[in-house]
Every structure is written in structure tokens, then in C-alpha cells.
Amino acid sequence: MDPQQQRPGAPHHRPQPPAPGGGGDSSAVLFVLFGFLAILALTMLPSTSLSILHQVPEGHVGVYWRGGALLKTITDPGFHLKLPLVTQFEPVQVTLQTDQVRDIPCGTKGGVMINFEKIEVVNRLRKEFVYETLLNYGVQYDNTWIYDKIHHEINQFCSSHSLQEVYIDVFDQIDEKMKEALQGDCTRYAPGIEIINVRVTKPAIPESIRRNFEQMEEERTKVLIAIERQRVVEKEAETKKKMAISEAEKNANVSKILMEQKLTEKDSSRRQAEIENQMYTAREKSLADADFYKVMREAEANKLKLTPQFLELKFIEAIADNTKIFFGDKVPNMVLDQRLLGNFLQVSKEVSKEVNSESGSGEDNPEVQFV
């Protein structure tokens, strides 16, 4: 008989639905929710030992320890996963970083205690040497090779120098000496550490000594001011001297130019006079040659005129001009004036000689007889 069927006259009962929120389904939802929250907590917890997901910031690399042993795994910046409670994580900076070493007391060679308030060391850990450096010196490697080393080197330096040298004379060399000392030991024992720069501040010295140094500096400043004034005076004197020399050279050059100009004018005048003299000489020579030629031509003409006929004509003309002539039977020859006769005889002799020398003949020329 079907259990759903009831006997006639029995009371009728409807089936009841299950109560809400009860049973196995609600337990499963709660378990899933709890598991999700647990995983989320393990993933996002800031604790490096319990978290699964972790982040390596930019400029760093991630290093890991498992059971206290350093792993060779080196991760780059970004999100990474690790085993919680088993693997420990630590970010290590591989970019430039500045370590500040403060309050470094030291004693000078003379026994004076001074204190360097701050020394800054700019350094960098090379990425390829991260594992080796952390394996040998741990995450706080800079305590060994920067902080402690700075204290040691500063004390070594102060113990070998006097207060005057440390505070004034060689203070500008401390930076370079510290850098060389740090880099030398790091290159030898920890090659992954690179020292970029070292900045040393002025040390603090006792107040009484500081006042003495300030007074010395004031006196040195006064001396430097006096020296600079002397240099200025010397420069001014040198400038005036150079200006005077320049002015004298300028005047000398002007005088030289004027003298050369006068000499050029004199030379031009001399050349002009020489040319005029040459022209005058040539002109006078031409005139003299012309006169000489004229005289020579006249002489040649006169020589051609001196013929016997010409002389006889001249003789007749001379007799005709003479007023003292006597005629008669008792006078066979012509009697002339004594003065006229002498002149005529002299001229006749000269003409006869010239004619005889030119003709070269021995013939006797006709003679004129006078009484």
C-alpha cells in the first residue's frame, strides 16, 4: 500500500520543506569563503615570512634565504611568488645610494681631539656581485666596508697629521684620500662595492683653538688684501708704462713717417734738379755744337774763298781805299802808306803759306813787289 495513501477517516498531513540555512550546503560555502580569505591573507600579508606574493621595487633585486641558506636566485623588479614560512625575501639596492657616517671622533698628531660630524659616502653594489657580497658579508655589508672603514681611515689620517694640516692645509685632500682607501680595500676584498664619491664636512675643534684659527685667518686675509692692493698698484703702473711706451712708439712712428716723407720730397726735388740740369746741359751742348758747326762751316767757306783771284780783288779794293798813292816817271814802283803796306804784307804771307800747304806743288806763285 502506498504510504501516501491514507485510510479513510485518518487526518491528512502535508510534507514540510527543509528549513533555510541549515544542512551541508551552508557548511561548504563557509569553507570555501574561509579558504579564499586565508589564501588572500597569505598572499597580501606584509610579513616576508608568511606572504606568498611579494614585490621587488625598482632599483633593487630580490634575494632569498631558505632554511637560513642564501639562494643563488636573484629576481628583478616586479611581482614574484615564494613559499611562505620556508623562504625569506629581502630587497637589495643596486643603484647609487648615499651612506652617512656621523660623529667620528679622532685625535691629531699633536693630541687635540676633533670630531667629524658627518661624512657621506656615495656607493653602489654591482648586480653581478650581489650573491657573492651577501654570501660573504650579509645584507648589512656596508657596515663592514663603509661605516667601520670610515672610522678606521679617519683615525689613521688624523693620527699622522697635525691640527693645522687636518683643519686647513690638507683638508681638501681628505675626500680623495678616503675614496682611494675605501675603494682599494673594496676592490681587494669586496669587488662588488663601487665607491663613487666621498664628502667630508669640516671637523669640529675646541672653541679656543677655533678662535685662534679665525684670528689667523683674519690676519691672512689682511695680508692677502695688502698683496692684492700691491698687485693692483703694480698693474696700474705697468699699464701706465705700457701706455707711455705705446705713445712714444706712436710718436716715433709718426716722426719716422714724416722724416721719410721729407726725404722722399728731397729725393724727388734732387731728381727733378738732376733732370733739369741734364736738360740744360743737353740744350747748351746742342747750342755749342750748333755754334761750333756754324764756325766750322764758315771756316770751310772762307777757306774756299781764299783763291789768288779773291786775294787780288781784295788787294785792289784795299789800294782803292788808300788815298796816299804817288804817280811819276821817277817812281818805278808804287809807294804806299807804311802802315797799310805792313798789314798787306802780313796777310799776303799767311795766305801764301796756306795756299802752298794745300796745293803741295813747288810752283812759284806770283809775287807782288812793294817798295
Domain definitions of the chain by residue range = 53-91, 94-205, 212-295
pLDDT tens digit sequence for 291-329: 888 888 888 887 777 777 777 777 777 777 765 555 555
Q: Which three cell numbers stand for residue 28?
A: 561548504
Strands 69-75 and 60-66: antiparallel
Contact 19, 45 (CB under 8 A): no
Q: How confident is the model at residue 351 (pLDDT cuts 50, 70, 90)?
A: low
Contact 158, 204 (CB under 8 A): no
pLDDT of 331 > 80? The answer is: no
Q: How confident is the model at residue 8 (pLDDT cuts 50, 70, 90)?
A: very low
Give the helix ranges, DSSP H, for the chain.
24-44, 130-137, 141-142, 148-159, 163-164, 171-189, 207-305, 308-321, 338-359
The per-residue pLDDT for 21 is 45
pLDDT of 85 > 60? The answer is: yes
The per-residue pLDDT for 205 is 87
pLDDT of 1 > 50? The answer is: no
Distance CA 52, CA 278 (A): 126
What is the CATH code for 94-205?
A: 3.30.479.30
102-111, 150-159, 334-343: least confidently modelled range: 334-343
139-143, 239-243, 271-275, 348-352: least confidently modelled range: 348-352
The per-residue pLDDT for 35 is 62
The per-residue pLDDT for 40 is 54
- Give the rounded percent of residues in the chain with a pLDDT score beyond 70: 75
The per-residue pLDDT for 233 is 92
144 Cβ contact list (under 8 Å, min separation 6): 137
pLDDT tens digit sequence for 175-206: 999 999 999 999 999 999 999 999 999 999 88
Three-class HEC string of 153-181: HHHHHHHCCCHHHHHHHCHHHHHHHHHHH
